[in-house]
Amino acid sequence: MTAANLTIHLNAIAANWRALDALSESAVETAAVIKADAYGLGVSEVAKPLFDAGARSFFVATAEEGVKLYAAVGAKAKIYVFSGQMAYDNPLYYDFPLIPMLNSTEQVKRYLASENREGFGLQLDTGMNRLGMEADELAAALELLGDRKPELVISHLACADEPDHPMNAAQLAEFRRMTDGKGWRRSLAATGGILLGPEFHFDLCRPGIGLYGGAPFTDAEPVVTLSIPVIQTRTVKTGESVGYGAHWVAERHAVIATLAAGYADGILRATGENPPVLYAGDTPCPLVGRVSMDLLTVDVTALETVPDSLELMNRHQTVDDLANAAGTIGYEILTSLGARYKRRYSGA
Ligand SMILES: *Cc1c(COP(=O)(O)O)cnc(C)c1O
């Protein structure tokens, strides 16, 4: 059985970075968020094209991810770690030039007691209540830090993908209240925040999902093509069912192709509730029946000849289309992409 092919278009990632960079003034730095193995696309392959496009600051979720990134881009880039300094990370911070975003006075103390040779950043909570320090804790942290200055101070917006949400203005005001006049380099905007406009940009923007072709950056170039081999085809008569639960029943004579990928490959089972299509060239063929662990069934009656494989994601059908079909977000589709796919990188 041939594995499904996941093609990752590195030139599209670089183009998306440039397009997002162009949305802020030239004095504003544009970084790249590449946590979770570059949103499932492969940090070792994705980091270099982003660096070549101009990204010089990268954000990861954990110190371990930072080490992997360091192997790809080396010491010329700054590597910030969102989860900050955890005790189990101390050796990595000692060995590699990683910059922890300190999230609490506990992390500040740990940083000061450790032998990190790099600087540090601070993460502030302005209303999301996930990571970072609120105003009181920040004051205590600054006292502990004394003369030491943060390289960057960030906070994160909870509702940036909803431009009219009152949280955006409230978090912006709180961020200003906590940071104005301090002389710190500041960052508030991820992909959604970049699109909210210049007052959200500060000194550095840190897009993730938009680089990888996902909403809310609707102008993004699609980054992935997923092509799934056909294992066999059969004809079914009116009234025959296809797949588990006999969920789909043919209303007419139909040709059904069975394809070699399923929910174990990250094609969420919920996708079948509001089924998308698969493409044979430009011809859409509906997904029918439930998604199985390793298999999909597709109505290919419209095709004169059935190709060796059909595409589930491409220019016609993006990660967000698939996300909508499954009732989720593009982030989850990307980070669920299966380990069995043969990953190919184009346009490096
Ligand atoms: C994931 C993340 C980002 C990037 O967000 P996108 O919506 O993917 O652009 C930026 N900042 C923080 C703190 C994050 O957790």
Q: 109 CA to middle of ligand 1, Å? A: 26
Q: Is the CB of 190 inside a 6 Å radius of any atom of ligand 1?
A: yes
Q: 268 CA to middle of ligand 1, Å? A: 23
Query: Which of ligand 1's atoms lies nearest the C-alpha of 190?
Result: 9
**Single-letter amino acid, residue 309:** S
pLDDT exceeds 70 at position 58 = yes
Nearest to 256 by CA among 206, 306, 187, 331: 306
Categorize the per-residue pLDDT at 140 as very low, low, confident or very high, splitting at 50, 70 and 90: very high
- Taking CA atoms only, the protein residue closest to ligand 1 atom 12 is 156
**What is the predicted pLDDT for the residue at 77?**
96
* Residues designated as active site: 35, 244
Q: Which DSSP string corresponds to 123-140?
A: EB-SSS-SSSB-HHHHHH
pLDDT in tens, 215-264: 999 999 999 999 999 999 999 999 999 999 999 999 999 999 999 999 99
Q: Write down all domains in the chain, each with its CATH number in brackets.
A: 10-212 (3.20.20.10), 224-346 (2.40.37.10)
- Ramachandran quadrant class, 71 (left: phi over 0; alpha: psi -120 to 50; beta: rest): alpha
Ligand 1 pocket, mutate which of 122, 156, 218 (most atoms under 8 A from CB): 156
Asked if residues 248 and 230 have their Cβ atoms less than 8 Å apart, the reply is no
Q: 41 CA to middle of ligand 1, Å? A: 16
- Ramachandran quadrant class, 97 (left: phi over 0; alpha: psi -120 to 50; beta: rest): beta
pTM: 0.96
Percent of the chain with pLDDT over 90: 96
